[in-house]
Amino acid sequence: MSDDAAVGIDLGTTYSVVARVDASGYPETLVNAEGDRITPSAVLFDGDDVIVGKEAVKAMAAEADNVAECSKRDVGHQVFHKVIGGKQYPPEVIEAWILNKLRVDASAQIGPVRKAVITVPAYFDEVRRKATQDAGYMAGLDVLDIINEPTAAAVAYGYQKGLLEKVATAEKPLRILVYDLGGGTFDVTVMEIHGNRFVTVATDGDVRLGGHDWDQRLVDVVAEAFLRDHYVDPREDRAAAGKLWLECEDAKRTLSARSKTTIACDCQGRVARIEVTRARFEEATRDLLDRTRFTVGQTLAAARLRWNQIDRLLLVGGSTRMPMVRAMLREISGLEPDGSVAADEAVAQGAALRAAQLVPQAHRLKGQFKIKNVNSHSLGVVGVDRATGRRRNGILIPRNTPIPVAARRVFTTQKDSQRSILVQVVEGESASADECTEIGKCSVRQLPPGLPAGSPIEVQFQYKPDGRLKVRVSVPDTSARLETEFARENTLSQEHLDGWRRYISGLEPPRT
């Protein structure tokens, strides 16, 4: 395979998958060093050894304190919620270890892998996208693109249905709603497929809702039954809790196929086998399912569509195997949910198709396609309301705007001879800046001297198709060129990134 070969990576909350487009142009999932097609996104820190995948999950039972799992949920925060071996890791560093294993295992199979397209939930904001890109860099990868998971799934679906070989026609587009419930995140996206063009119409989701929450409810059901009989709570004993969680995740899968199962729980010398029926499990998780139902309704409304205008309801993500998901969707849509793409592998395969498209010289891709996305959160600049003194969110790019998009807004200086201006960028729907997420800021110093109060300062946003943002500030009608770097909140410096890259991947940073 050529040095330029690029893979697609679905970096999931609970599992990750790598795929590539093979020599005959087909997407295929690669197996890891253990021979599995999916790799648990868990990392065991054992002294100087870092172990990723199945072994790290097993270690949850005995040394839960040293295992980092669900790091994707914390991406965008400064540090991972759990202290591991006395250290507080940034969540993207934990993700970098996972990506590094995927890279090393894929390289062992198909030759050196350096380039990748990584997927993220459509609902990921700018900070989380940047952190994901950084994780790829620290893992020794050149991240060619960050694409949305539902878009990748739709591309894989389109490939399977032979749509990539068609050209856009004036025919009615195929409208699909992608319901993606993974291990830790939930996304709904409405897409239109016009021949080989994939256009996102609206997207919404919840970065803190997924199969893991269903596991947790099952843990609660069992732990409460155990507590009633034995007066000890296994959730309060670290080792027992780790083991119980493993049992419950397994039992949850059994309950997708059978109407009841028994779950073993042992804690402080007491042992019990507790029977749980599917009906009891569904009752304990009803509100979680209702949250997804609500988001589906909201996304359809944002797309200004009704169910009778949706042609396909595509299921993606391992958690859509739960019968309650299909039943709910059938009931609200009147459609039969389409599970024809492999729930766990479709996203990585769609990413692989995108990667092959970006490095055409190294792959023989059958057919071409275009992707058009929207931004999932409104982007604005903080301004102060003169009347109330409150910090307001001046939205420049409303959510669900097709990207790439550029927007500009002119602000004015507050006082005579003002020499600096601070531009704070926020993401969110609220009019109050305090209720939005601050994603970064830039300050322009050394404005030209002698500017009178009320002089215009222009702020330009450029939102790129990969969901990344560029901000430029300038003073119109002056010769001063004031381009400034946009500093993001909660991100690692280039120096740190380079250091982690050397440490995790053993590779030198690329020379620029």
Q: Please select the residue that binds ligand AMP; options are 8, 12, 121, 467, rule is CB under 6 A.
A: 12
> Which tokens go with 245?
């969680």
Is residue 350 within the footprint of ligand AMP (CB under 6 A)? no
Which residue, 8 or 428, has its beta carbon nearer to ligand AMP? 8
Bond preceding residue 404 cis, omega within 30 of 0: yes
Q: For residue 46, list its beta bridge partners.
A: 49
Sign of CA dihedral 186, 492, 402, 348: negative
Which residue, 211 or 350, has its beta carbon nearer to ligand AMP? 211
Q: Which stretch binds ligand AMP (CB under 6 A): 134-142, 223-231, 314-322, 416-424?
A: 314-322
- Asked about 372 being catalytic, the answer comes back as no
Residues that bind ligand AMP (rule: CB under 6 A) add up to a total of 18
Distance CA 303, CA 283 (A): 31
Q: Please select the residue that binds ligand AMP; options are 148, 319, 424, 490, rule is CB under 6 A.
A: 319
Q: Please select the residue that binds ligand AMP; options are 6, 9, 14, 378, rule is CB under 6 A.
A: 14
Distance CA 504, CA 252 (A): 34
Q: Active site residue: 10, 134, 145, 247, which one?
A: 10
User: Within 10 A of 230 (CB to CB), how many other CB atoms are there?
Assistant: 16
Distance CA 296, CA 329 (A): 9
Rounded least distance, CB 246 to ligand AMP, Å: 11
Rounded least distance, CB 28 to ligand AMP, Å: 17
The answer to whether the beta carbons of residues 6 and 115 sit under 8 Å apart is: yes
Which residue, 244 or 469, has its beta carbon nearer to ligand AMP? 244
Q: Please select the residue that binds ligand AMP; options are 192, 344, 427, 466, rule is CB under 6 A.
A: 344
Rounded least distance, CB 59 to ligand AMP, Å: 18
Is residue 15 within the footprint of ligand AMP (CB under 6 A)? yes
- Asked about 243 being catalytic, the answer comes back as no
Distance CA 131, CA 79 (A): 12
Is residue 474 within the footprint of ligand AMP (CB under 6 A)? no
- Asked about 165 being catalytic, the answer comes back as no
Name the residue type at position 302: A
Residues 129-188 interacting with ligand AMP (rule: CB under 6 A): 182-183
Q: Active site residue: 92, 126, 149, 213, which one?
A: 149
The binding track of 232-261 with respect to ligand AMP, each residue x by CB under 6 A or -, is: -----------------x--xx--x-----
Q: Please select the residue that binds ligand AMP; options are 103, 321, 354, 377, rule is CB under 6 A.
A: 321
Residues 187-216 interacting with ligand AMP (rule: CB under 6 A): 211-212
Residue 357 burial class via C-beta count within 10 angstroms: exposed 0-12, middle 13-18, buried 19 and up:
buried
**CA-to-CA separations, 420 to 385, 417, 481, in angstroms, rounded:** 19, 9, 14
Is residue 318 within the footprint of ligand AMP (CB under 6 A)? yes
Which residue, 256 or 333, has its beta carbon nearer to ligand AMP? 256
Q: Which of 183, 165, 167 is nearest to 40 (CA)?
A: 183
Is residue 285 within the footprint of ligand AMP (CB under 6 A)? no
> Which tokens go with 232?
């000890």
> Which tokens go with 8?
């697609």
Residue 56: strand, helix, or coil: helix
Which residue, 314 or 473, has its beta carbon nearer to ligand AMP? 314
Bond preceding residue 27 cis, omega within 30 of 0: no
Question: Which residue matches tokens 């389109």?
Answer: 158
Q: For residue 432, list its beta bridge partners.
A: 392
Which residue, 130 or 252, has its beta carbon nearer to ligand AMP? 252
Distance CA 125, CA 148 (A): 11
Rounded least distance, CB 359 to ligand AMP, Å: 26
Element holding 474 (H helix, E strand): strand 469-474
**CA-to-CA separations, 417 to 421, 458, 474, in angstroms, rounded:** 11, 17, 16
- Asked about 172 being catalytic, the answer comes back as no
Rounded least distance, CB 439 to ligand AMP, Å: 25
Q: Active site residue: 92, 125, 126, 180, which one?
A: 180
Q: Which stretch binds ligand AMP (CB under 6 A): 79-87, 283-291, 317-325, 446-454?
A: 317-325
Q: What is the DSSP letter of 87?
A: B
Q: Which stretch binds ligand AMP (CB under 6 A): 223-231, 318-326, 472-480, 484-492?
A: 318-326
Residue 282: strand, helix, or coil: helix
Please list the active-site residues.
Answer: 10, 72, 149, 180
Question: Which residues contact ligand AMP by CB under 6 A?
Answer: 12-15, 182-183, 211-212, 249, 252-253, 256, 317-319, 321-322, 344
